[in-house]
A = this chain, B = another copy of it.
Amino acid sequence: MTEKNLQVVLASRPKGPATVENFRLVEAPIPAAGPGEVLVRNHYLSLDPYMRGAMDDVKSYRAPQAIDAVMLGGTVGEVIATNNPAFAVGDKVVGMLGWQLYGVSDGTMLRKIDTTHIPMSAYLGVVGMPGATAWYGLNRIITPKAGETVVVSAASGAVGSVVGQLAKGKGCRAVGIAGGPEKCRAVTEEFGFDACIDYKAGNLAADLKAATPDGIDGCFENVGGEGFDAVLARMNAFGRIAVCGLIAGYGGQPIPIRNVRSILVNRLRVEGFIVSEHLELWPQAFGEIGALVAGGKLKYRETVAQGLEAAPEAFIGLLAGRNFGKQVVKLV
């Protein structure tokens, strides 16, 4: 066991793209479990795009990350000391203990997990928040019927790859949008989408049209910008668009959408959502996804960075799309 806790704190707010200088690695004493608390040794840290938003001090759906505080983040690990009767030493748990090797929790927001058939790290991805995100947007907003066409941007990612596989399971045509031939190949060959558009190839609108001969009924939007406009132009009447993520353009300005008229002409429903506001549905989502994963029916990929000190660089790589599938940091 390491003698000290290691933590990554927010050193400064990014001006434009985040850099490693915005983070600082610090040592701290290993905390003690107080009354009713447990001490957890984190095995994996989750890196997620939402963290970039939390680094800014602007109005959003969550409070900004405080300067000099440990970076927020999902973790999975093992209970090593407990003053809480709901948890025993040795329990594997998923929680939000942040970018550090050890964390304490009073048990709220801490969930015991079964790692018999599902590896620990998957609880940060396919059976974690990204999986719940995919499940919610598809099943509660897009609500696709067999035979419909569902388009997913960032299709090789932790969320997108699950959306497409769940849509296929419902008898839909699943079409991904991803960056580069390698990711596109994985989207079709590994994740089983019917087609994948490489947005870097420069023919996004034409390629999307060719891949969606019957138009688009549902869209799971992780990106925004040019791809979102191309999707809007192909939407069928009464289409549904779940808005899960939107990137900014150069200079941090939002990218406008041009095909606004499609919302009216096609009577679309466009709905933004934050999966952490629908925790009551996570058990149902994890039940369905977990069974598929344990049975080998739902594929996922991970990119694993080694050691907490590698987290800032891995996070910046995630924002730049250099990861493949769920980005985690292995801490043990």
Which residues of A approach B to under 8 Å, CB–CB? 59-61, 224, 228, 237, 243-246, 248, 254-261, 263-274, 277
Contacts and interface: CB of A to CB of B under 8 A. Distances in A.
26 contacts: A59-B265, A60-B265, A61-B267, A224-B260, A243-B264, A244-B264, A246-B261, A246-B264, A248-B261, A254-B258, A254-B259, A255-B260, A256-B257, A256-B258, A256-B260, A257-B257, A263-B270, A263-B271, A265-B272, A266-B272, A267-B274, A267-B277, A268-B271, A269-B269, A269-B271, A269-B272
A163 to B, nearest CB: 16
A61 B265 contact: yes
Contacts of A244: 264
A59 B237 CA distance: 11
Nearest to A277: B267
A256 B258 CA distance: 4
Nearest to A264: B272
Contacts of A258: 254, 256
Contacts of A263: 243, 246, 270-272
Contacts of A265: 59-61, 272
A56 to B, nearest CB: 12
A273 B270 CA distance: 12
Contacts of A272: 263-269
A147 B60 CA distance: 23
Q: Which of A237, A266, A270, A273 has the most CB of B within 10 A?
A: A270
Contacts of A237: 61
Contact of A267 (B255, B261, B266, B273): B273
Contacts of A268: 270-272
A263 B254 CA distance: 12
Contacts of A277: 267
A273 B237 CA distance: 10
Given A237-B61, A256-B260, A270 B270 contact: yes
Nearest to A221: B264
A284 B256 CA distance: 39
A95 B210 CA distance: 42
Given A246-B261, A257-B260, 5 more contacts: A59-B265, A254-B259, A254-B260, A269-B270, A270-B270
A94 B250 CA distance: 54
A270 B267 contact: no
Contacts of A261: 246, 248, 254
Q: Which of A60, A243, A266 has the most CB of B within 10 A?
A: A243
A255 B258 CA distance: 7
